[in-house]
Amino acid sequence: MNMDYNRMELMICLASRLLEDNRTVVVGTGAPCAAAMLAQSLYAPNLMIMFEAGGIGPQLPSMPISVGDSRTFYRGLAAGSMPEIMENCQRGMVDYTFLGGAQIDMYGNINSTMIGDDYERPKVRFPGSGGACDLASFCWRIMVITVQDARRFTNKINFITSPGYLTGKGAREAAGLPPGGGPYKVITDLCVLGFDEETKRMQVESIHPGVSREKIVENTDFELLWSPDLVESEPPTENELKILREKVDPYRYIIGRS
């Protein structure tokens, strides 16, 4: 087992193992795209990758730099459009998506809009949803890859841009969202988190090598649940690192950010 890896490589490898064959995934650029490309190379050859700007099932020759990059259409099944991607989500045809933001709470709600108590005069204004709210509402399994700290993993989210489980079990359905969807996994530089079936609260499922429970707790602003089947995260394999470094991201655009 190769221990010479950085935290970004670890997060990408862990995320790639979660993507199943013969499924669909909407990704943005960066770590989510790298995870999907790695999964396609090793675990899910028939994984269909989709991009918000309309690329459907491309044979990615290299890492795209934006969701509208010409590479996201290269030898694809279709050169669609943003409405077409969102319509596929609304029809229930998208299994996975990756989202990110400035804040996330214990129910997987994500804020990418603003920080502060006054919407009109926020302390910080972010770009907003883009297509994230639609993806969070209609894709079946939502995943997040992010660095973990107490400001980001907050007990008091300032704005819900993309819905997670809202206030807990049944809240998504009560708000009119399709039953059965919602946050699935949160992969951080400290651990992998899932969601408790009964409460829909975030729970730690695996702890990365060399990380303590105390470090996870001090980097989280809310009380975490702990899986009864808690394990240590499996580090990247030699083969995963080889493909990630030589094929997926040879110029280290993503994995160079440790």
pLDDT value for 3: 60
Q: What is the mean pLDDT of residues 4-17?
A: 97
Residue 90, sorted as left (phi over 0), alpha (psi -120 to 50) or beta, turns out to be alpha
Asked if residue 254 belongs to a domain, the reply is: no
Q: What is the mean pLDDT of residues 88-96?
A: 96
Which residues does 88 contact at the CB level (< 8 Å), separation at least 6?
A: 24, 50, 94
Count structural domains, the chain: 1
Q: What is the mean pLDDT of residues 128-156?
A: 96
Asked if residue 33 belongs to a domain, the reply is: yes
Asked if residue 253 belongs to a domain, the reply is: no
Q: What is the mean pLDDT of residues 156-165?
A: 97
Asked if residue 255 belongs to a domain, the reply is: no
pLDDT value for 219: 98
The CATH number of whichever domain residue 21 belongs to comes to 3.40.1080.10
Residue 89 domain boundaries? 7-248
Asked if residue 180 belongs to a domain, the reply is: yes
Q: What is the mean pLDDT of residues 115-122?
A: 95
pLDDT band for position 258 (50/70/90)? low
Would the pLDDT of 2 be above 70?
no
Would the pLDDT of 257 be above 80?
no
Q: What is the mean pLDDT of residues 193-198?
A: 97
How far does CA 153 lie from the centroid of its chain? 14
Got the DSSP string for the chain?
------HHHHHHHHHHHHPPTT-EEEE-SSHHHHHHHHHHHHT-TT-EEEETTSEES---SS--SSTT-GGGGTT-SEE--HHHHHHHHHTT---EEEE--SEE-TT--EE-SEESS-SSS-SEE----TTHHHHHHHSSEEEEEE---TTTB-SS-S--SB-SSTTSTTHHHHTTPPTT-SEEEEEESSEEEEE-TTT--EEEEEE-TT--HHHHHHT-SSPPEEEEEEEEPPPPPHHHHHHIIIII-TT-TTTT--
* Catalytic positions, written as ranges: 52
